[in-house]
Amino acid sequence: MQQTMTTEHLPARQRGLGFLSLIIIIALASFFGTLLFKLGPKYQGFWTVRSIMEETAKSFDPARDGGGRGLINTLEKRLYINSISHVDTKNFKVERLGDNRLKLILEYEDRVHLFFNIDAVLIFKHQVDVVSPQV
């Protein structure tokens, strides 16, 4: 017995991906790709600043290194070394919490032009406690 292929069990119209579906997929991929390429570097810059803050908080001694002004000077040097230009020392606040304890607060906004007249506003916030190491 020879088996022949019949089309009785197949739907009347089988189709692949249509042109409109292809255009929609390309538009969505382009949109999310644009978001990734435009917003990604801003987040990467924030993560770099955040790691600088964490490292400074671990190594800085408020009693020895000059309190709040010394902390800002140390941050300014580290930002310069890492070529961070989108964050200024004006974006940092230093609060004194007690003897040899400081709180370093970073708050800033970054505006990114996406396309046409659409911009994205990114708000970044981070804070660390700076404590004198126990001797």
Which amino acid is located at 56 in the chain? T
Give the dihedral of Cα atoms 46, 47, 52, 53; nearest 10 deg. Answer: 70
Let me know if residue 29 belongs to a domain: no
Let me know if residue 7 belongs to a domain: no
Let me know if residue 30 belongs to a domain: no
Let me know if residue 8 belongs to a domain: no
Let me know if residue 2 belongs to a domain: no
Please tell me the total count of domains within the chain: 1
End-to-end CA distance of the chain: 92
Let me know if residue 11 belongs to a domain: no
CA distances (Å), 27 to each of 34, 36, 117, in order? 10, 14, 18
* Rounded-to-integer distance, Cα 68 and Cα 111, Å: 29
* CB 128, CB 50: distance < 8 Å: no
Supply the range of the domain harboring residue 71.
Answer: 41-131
The one-digit pLDDT tens for each residue of the chain (135 residues) are: 566 666 566 566 766 788 999 999 999 999 999 999 999 999 999 999 999 999 998 988 877 877 888 899 999 999 999 999 999 989 999 998 877 788 999 999 999 999 899 999 999 999 999 887 765
Let me know if residue 1 belongs to a domain: no
Let me know if residue 19 belongs to a domain: no
